[in-house]
């Protein structure tokens, strides 16, 4: 059977249910804790911050499948199913016997997979009768996705954008404004926590952790508002499983079983969404896969962090989560893969990593952009810097197959496009891109500030 360049599923094959990998995990992810009492967060406590239905999803560890409401599936139909692409041209250019596939989530205006969860979260907010939501954004992909989702359902949208990205990506801001959102650089002087961070760290370029604190503060202090988050949380990974479910169905149609599955890892939403259905098979003892998380060398939470309870945000206003973390005070060097500049990692992925279902590696920024440019020239798509971490390692794996002669099936997540990352590409084109790798001392100092649980 000839495999086409792009495997498109039918609209009817958009998943009708999300897959909740926690139901199949023997070792469940540790619960979120109240930072004051160190007791597991109660439903009512979480509902002060998050929409009720999303809290229910966050706490649901037993139902393996959760129905996707029709309204969300209808929105999905505007840009899903996304294709699984066979990278014939890349294979040819490399001269590898490996078969390379990527699940491409960039063909929508948000430019990434983030829209999958944004539309779900906006739907539940609207259904609950809220008037608006707040959030943070790093690279701007999540903020854009949420702006689109809120415009569709007629909700207000207030976005705190990590300052370094806000400055490097003015056009992202305009996309969000075009969809009617308000966008504030973080740390801002809008919130108590923002003012505090600005005072303590003058000139800081911000981080996802800071921006989360500000967005949460704004949400809980504004009537009719809740806070929504684009990664890390289990509900987000749940929504993102449409990626993995579609990828699995598409490959099965052609009798292809991936040997290696690769995804970039920031907070974990893309990686978790891509690999969950495959990990589910591993957990149920049905199949084996090699799963690789790729982190930036500048922000290596899985590979160099500790698996402990920590704050989800720099401002310490959020619940404690047990996760691989570099410490909530860790502010990574200005790295252009804004979406990967998070100090921690999804609790689900942290547990799966700790249980050895997932491996992790790091990639240096200049190597990542070299892979990105090579991919652009051969496969035609200019990738997001985040996604390019997965490209780098997919190419490495394909090169290994040249030596071994193995016809491995490599699947990676191409989470998005780099159209709003041209400042970073310009630095790379001009030979001015630098690598930053934290010292052990830096990481130890940051970890020393983690709460005792």
Of 162, 344, 420, 438, the residue at the interface with a second copy (CB under 8 A) is 420
177 sits near a second copy (criterion: CB under 8 A): yes
Cβ 226 to a second copy, closest distance in Å?
22
Residue 12 or 452: the one with the smaller Cβ distance to a second copy is 12
Q: Quick one: 11 or 288, whose CB is closer to a second copy? A: 11
Which of 8, 201, 254, 307 binds a second copy (CB under 8 A)? It is 8
In whole angstroms, how close is the CB of 229 to a second copy at the nearest point? Answer: 21
* 244 vs 76: CA distance, rounded Å: 15
Smallest gap from residue 11 Cβ to a second copy (A): 5
Assess 69 for contact with a second copy (CB under 8 A). no
The DSSP secondary structure of 101-169, one letter per residue, reads EEEE---STT-BTTHHHHHHHHHHHHHTT--EEEEEESSSHHHHHHHHHHHHHT-EEEEEEEHHHHHH-
Among 27, 221, 404, 429, binds a second copy (CB under 8 A): 429
- Omega before 81 cis (within 30°)? yes
What is the distance of C-alpha 295 from the center of its chain? Answer: 11
Where are the strands (E) in 332-407, listed by range?
359-363
Toward a second copy, which CB reaches closer, 74 or 407? 74
List the one residue out of 88, 92, 8, 104 whose CA is nearest residue 382.
Answer: 104
Strands 306-311 vs 320-325: parallel, antiparallel or unpaired: antiparallel
In the complex, least distance from residue 342 CB atom to a second copy, rounded to whole angstroms: 25
Smallest gap from residue 88 Cβ to a second copy (A): 8
- Six-digit token string for 219: 């949400």
417 touches a second copy (CB under 8 A): yes
List the beta bridge partners of residue 361: 294
Rounded Cα–Cα distance for residues 247 and 58 (Å): 24
Instruction: Rule CB under 8 A: say whether 16 interacts with a second copy.
Output: no
Burial class for 401, CB neighbours closer than 10 Å (0-12, 13-18, 19+): buried
Site string for a second copy, 389-408 (x = CB under 8 A): --------------------
Residue 380 contacts a second copy per CB under 8 A: yes
412 binds a second copy (CB under 8 A): no
Out of 65, 426, 434, 444, point to the residue binding a second copy (CB under 8 A): 426
Quote the least distance from Cβ 230 to a second copy, whole Å: 17
Per the rule left: phi > 0, alpha: psi between -120 and 50, beta: everything else, 167 is alpha
Least Å distance between CB 152 and a second copy? 7
Here the tokens at position 408 are 């491995």
Helices and strands (DSSP H and E) totals, the chain? 18, 15
Q: Choose, by CB under 8 A, the member of 56, 64, 66, 89 that binds a second copy.
A: 89
Rounded distance between C-alpha atoms, residue 413 and residue 155, angstroms: 30
Which of 87/279 has CB closer to a second copy? Answer: 87
Residue 263 CB, shortest distance to a second copy, in Å, is 21
145 and 269 in contact (C-beta within 8 Å)? no
Provide the binding-site residues for a second copy, judged by CB under 8 A.
4-6, 8, 10-11, 74-75, 77-79, 85, 88-89, 107-109, 111, 148, 151-152, 170-171, 174-175, 177-180, 373, 376-382, 417, 419-420, 422-423, 425-426, 428-429
């Amino acid at each position: 059977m000839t495999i086409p360049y792009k495997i498109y599923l039918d609209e009817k094959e958009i998943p009708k249910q999300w897959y909740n990998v926690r139901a199949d995990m023997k070792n469940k992810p540790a619960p979120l804790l109240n930072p004051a009492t160190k007791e597991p967060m109660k439903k009512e406590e979480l509902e002060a911050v998050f929409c009720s239905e999303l809290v229910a999803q966050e706490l649901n560890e037993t139902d393996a499948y959760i129905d996707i409401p029709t309204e969300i599936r209808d929105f999905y139909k505007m840009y899903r199913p996304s294709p699984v692409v066979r990278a014939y041209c890349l294979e040819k250019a490399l001269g590898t016997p490996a078969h390379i596939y990527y699940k491409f989530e960039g063909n929508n205006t948000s430019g990434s997979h983030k829209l999958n969860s944004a539309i779900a979260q906006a739907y539940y907010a609207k259904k609950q009768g809220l008037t608006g939501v707040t959030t943070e954004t790093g690279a701007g992909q999540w903020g854009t996705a949420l702006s689109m989702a809120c415009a569709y359902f007629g909700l207000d949208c207030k976005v705190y954008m990590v300052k370094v990205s806000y400055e490097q990506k003015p056009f992202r801001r305009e996309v969000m404004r075009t969809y009617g959102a308000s966008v504030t650089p973080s740390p801002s002087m809008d919130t108590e926590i923002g003012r505090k961070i600005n005072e303590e760290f003058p000139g800081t370029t911000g981080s996802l952790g800071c921006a989360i604190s500000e967005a949460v503060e704004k949400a809980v202090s504004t009537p009719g508002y809740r806070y929504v988050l684009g990664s890390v949380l289990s509900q987000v990974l749940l929504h993102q499983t449409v990626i993995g479910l579609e990828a699995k169905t598409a490959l099965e149609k052609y009798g292809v079983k991936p040997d290696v599955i690769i995804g970039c890892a920031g907070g974990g939403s893309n990686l978790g969404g891509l690999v969950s259905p495959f990990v589910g098979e591993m957990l149920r003892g049905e199949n084996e896969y090699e799963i690789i998380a790729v982190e930036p060398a500048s922000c290596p939470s899985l590979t160099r962090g500790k698996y402990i309870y920590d704050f989800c945000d720099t401002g310490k206003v959020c619940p404690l989560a047990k996760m691989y973390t570099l410490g909530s005070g860790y502010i990574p060097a200005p790295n252009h893969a804004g979406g990967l500049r998070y100090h921690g990692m999804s609790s689900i992925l942290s547990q799966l990593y700790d249980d050895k279902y997932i491996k992790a590696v790091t990639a240096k920024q200049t190597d990542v952009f070299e892979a990105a440019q090579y991919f652009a020239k051969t496969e035609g798509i200019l990738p997001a810097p985040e996604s390019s971490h997965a490209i780098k390692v997919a190419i490495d794996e394909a090169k290994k197959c040249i030596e071994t002669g193995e016809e491995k099936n490599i699947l990676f997540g191409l989470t998005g496009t780099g159209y709003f990352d041209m400042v970073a590409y310009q630095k790379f084109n001009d030979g001015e891109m630098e690598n930053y790798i934290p010292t052990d001392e830096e990481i130890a100092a940051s970890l020393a500030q983690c709460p005792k649980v």
